[in-house]
Structures are given as C-alpha cells and as structure tokens.
C-alpha cells in the first residue's frame, strides 16, 4: 500500500498546486474585470498557458491514462462517475478554446471584450475546480477501494516515469516579478 499512498499523495499535491494557481488567476481576472482598460491579455494568455500545461498534462497523463483505466477495469459500476469526469474535461477543453478566441479579440483592447474575456476565464477556472472536487471527493476514494496492490504498483511506476519525463523537459519555475503574487513563471535563461 506504500505505492498507493505515493500515487494518492502525488495527486493530492498536484491538485493543491492547481487549486492555488486557479485561485490566483481567478483573483486577478475578478479584480481586473472592474477595470477593463487595465486588462493585459498577454499576461492572461501566459498564465493560462502555464495553468493548462500543468493542469491538462497532469490530468491527461496521470488520471486519464493511468488511474481511470484501472478504476474502470476494477469497478464496472464506476462508469457514470468516469463519464461525468470525462464530460467535465471535454467541457473544459471547449471553454479553453473559447477563452483563446476571447483573448484574440481582447488584444484589440476593447473594454467589452476584456470583460467577456474575464468572464470566460472565470467559467473555465470554475469548471477545473468542479473537476478537481469530483476527483477528490469521488474518484480517489473509489480508487482506494477498488484498485489492487499490484495495480497500484503499476500506476506508481507510470507516475514516476512521467515525473522523470516532465522534470527533464520542464524549465525551472520561479515566482514572477511582473505581477507580484501571481503564480510562477519560467526562469530566465
């Protein structure tokens, strides 16, 4: 069960990081929505790219590729939950596409487009939070009940391999200086 603990702890840590990043992005867009003339679409785009890179790659590689198939194989009654999570993921992808369309329009510095951009980012972030809640409250407890020790070992091995791949290809992250308190940015070369 040590491997199960590792997998669940890894997911928990990553979810906390994702929640923290979402919270900071939401705080920014909610505060700037009241001052549409100050919206910086380039900054929002950079923050979104960083968030989606972390959130979507973690979700797709670890949950969808490793954990969800093991749950589906171990518990046939998990289909409604897994379908709901997949639906949230698909909805999030559609929302993200809408956010990027809004970003392109907001580059023209239109106040109405800026407000719409903030609202769209807000909706996307809340969809991510809903997916995280469902994962934490339903998926992970179910996984603990239905996945065998051997399967946990395989999942843990896949997680370690993905973490090694991610560490080798990801630039060092450090706090941003351009907008204090707004997450992390790539370190300068």
- What pLDDT score does 35 carry? 82
Specify whether the CB–CB gap between 39 and 110 falls below 8 A: no
- What pLDDT score does 168 carry? 62
pLDDT over 90 (residue 43): no
Per-residue pLDDT tens digits for 167-183: 565 554 444 444 433 44
Say whether 173 sits in a helix, a strand or coil: strand
- What pLDDT score does 93 carry? 87
pTM as predicted: 0.78
pLDDT over 90 (residue 53): no
Per-residue pLDDT tens digits for 94-116: 998 898 888 887 777 666 677 88
- What pLDDT score does 147 carry? 92
* CA separation for the pair 124, 47 (Å, rounded): 13
What CATH architecture is 2-166?
Answer: Up-down Bundle (1.20)
Quick one: which of 115, 92, 90, 93 has its CA closest to 102? 115
Per-residue pLDDT tens digits for 123-163: 999 999 999 999 999 999 999 999 998 898 888 888 888 76
Please give the helix or strand (H or E) that residue 175 lies within, else none.
strand 173-175
């Amino acid at each position: 069960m040590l491997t199960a603990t590792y997998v669940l702890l890894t997911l928990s840590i990553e979810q906390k990081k994702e929640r923290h990043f979402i919270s900071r992005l939401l705080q920014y867009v909610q505060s700037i929505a009241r001052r549409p003339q100050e919206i910086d679409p380039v900054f929002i785009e950079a923050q979104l790219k960083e968030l989606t890179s972390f959130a979507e790659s973690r979700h797709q590689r670890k949950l969808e590729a490793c954990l969800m198939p093991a749950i589906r194989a171990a518990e046939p009654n998990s289909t409604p939950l897994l379908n709901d999570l997949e639906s949230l993921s698909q909805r999030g992808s559609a929302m993200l596409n809408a956010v990027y369309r809004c970003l392109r329009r907001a580059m023209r510095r239109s106040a109405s487009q800026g407000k719409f951009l903030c609202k769209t980012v807000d909706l996307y972030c809340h969809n991510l939070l809903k997916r995280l809640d469902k994962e934490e409250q339903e998926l992970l407890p179910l996984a603990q009940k239905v996945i065998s020790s051997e399967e946990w070992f395989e999942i843990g091995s896949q997680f370690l391999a993905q973490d090694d791949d991610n560490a080798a290809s990801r630039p060092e992250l450090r706090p941003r200086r351009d907008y204090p308190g707004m997450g992390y940015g790539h370190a300068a070369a």
